[in-house]
Structure 1
Amino acid sequence: MTREHEELLGLLTEVRSRLLIPVRGLTDAEAAKRTTVSELTLGGLIRHLATGERMWLQVLRNADGSLPDGMLNTAQYSMSETLSHWLSAYEVAAAETDAYVTSLPSLDVEVQLPTTPWSPPEPRFWSARRIVLHLIHETAQHAGHADIIRESLDGANSTAQLGA
């Protein structure tokens, strides 16, 4: 594993852990509760990111532009199972992503992205590096959403939960 692998996966691990702070100590009912006009819930965010990591890993492994299972599912943000189910699924997906990315000799590996209704018509290619950067971006963005949802739910925030 190169230093680049270590640094990018280290940052991804850091943003994943920040995402999980707002769900500490929640019941399933609290994790499924909408606190804003959007459809976002804390459990739904965990489900979305667990599913997203699994899908991006399929894109990376397949490398042929095939559409991953569930990529067109528009109900990704609902919490269809228990919070503990999605936390476990997220942990497994993260470990699988990390193991696969670690196994790559270089992050320069290019893969074809799947064609979706929102894609441009021509085939697009991303490097493994860009996929990891996308996962970092997506996770960090949703960690911010999680903070807002948790604070709206019961006033808790990540700073208070970290003891800062």
Structure 2
Amino acid sequence: MAGNVPPVADERDGLLRFLEQQRYVLKLAAHGLTDEQARQAPTKSALTVGGLVKHVATTEDGWLDIILQLPQKPFGEGMADYESGYRLGPDETLAGVLARYDEVAARTAEVIGRIDDLGRPVPVPKGVPWYPQDVEAWSVRWVLLHLIEETARHAGHADIIREHVDGGTAIPLMAAAEGWPETPWVKPWTPETQPA
């Protein structure tokens, strides 16, 4: 996939493709990293590239559960899980969280594909401090827009973290992942091209 979303057929296609594009650029921030590098938090933040991929996969999957109105853990019970969801644990691998993210993406396409009306209400879970208490429901459309926003925010975080880990930046990483030839404008990322 190149740096831009291709033309879209309709609203549903556009929402899913823009979400897919943001997932892709987040995963590009992980391109070529070792598990150890994916666990590094090289800025004042505790965020890591591997932890961000894990978090966004878990978040997207959780939103699908909300759309499907599956039971949710009461707020507070899941806080340890929530906090560990930002970290690539010692028993986890970057390849594993990337594969999980791909599974979640496939689930999203499948779930959204079964919904005939993107305006269908999605009840707002109660008792979560960052959810509005004065709104009864969002729509499936709103959830997809929110997932695009959330993924884009964390893709930006991952770009900054990745640059601090080894100097890798978005376009050279994309060039490497997609096998672009070197040009005067873009030199694909390789471990050897990064500053020591």
Give the structure 2 partner of residue 40 of structure 1: 47
Aligned to 1:117: 129
Calculate percent identity across the aligned residue pairs.
Answer: 38
**What is the one-letter code of the residue matched to 2:157?**
H
Residue 59 of structure 2 is aligned to residue 52 of structure 1: yes
Residue 138 of structure 1 is matched in structure 2 by 150
Of 80, 86, 95, the match for 1:84:
95
Partner of 1:105: 116
> Matched residues in 2 for 1:21 and 1:38: separation?
20
Structure 1, 128-137 or 107-116: larger mean CA deviation? 107-116
Could you list the runs of 5+ residues in structure 2 that have no partner in the other structure?
Answer: 1-8, 176-185, 187-196
Q: Tell me the amino acid that sits aligned with residue 110 of structure 1.
A: P
Q: Residue 6 of structure 2 aligns with which residue? A: none
* Shift in Å, 1:37: 1.1
Q: Aligned partners of 1:114, 1:17: CA distance in 2, in Å?
A: 29
Cα distance in 2, alignment partners of residues 94 and 100 from structure 1: 10
CA distance in structure 1 between the partners assigned to 2:78 and 2:104 by the alignment: 15
Distance 2:130 2:63 in 1: 16
Q: Normalized against structure 2, the TM-score is what?
A: 0.76
- The alpha carbon displacement at 1:124 in A equals 3.0
Whether the aligned pair in 2 keeps the contact of 1:40 and 1:78 (CA below 8 Å) is yes
Q: Does 1:159 align with 2:167?
A: no
- The separation in 2 between residues aligned to 1:137 and 1:150, in whole angstroms, is 20
3-state SS, counterpart of residue 38 of structure 1: coil
Number of matched pairs: 161
CA-based RMSD of the aligned residues comes to 1.9
Report SS of the residue matched to 1:162.
Answer: helix
Amino acid at match of 2:72: L
1:46 alignment partner AA = V
Structure showing the higher helix proportion among its residues = 1
Q: Which has the higher contact order (CA 8 A, sep 6+)?
A: 1
Structure exhibiting the larger radius of gyration computed from Cα positions? 2
Counterpart Cα distance in 2 of 1:49 and 1:36: 19
- The 8 Å contact of residues 40 and 48 in structure 2, kept in 1 or not, is answered as yes
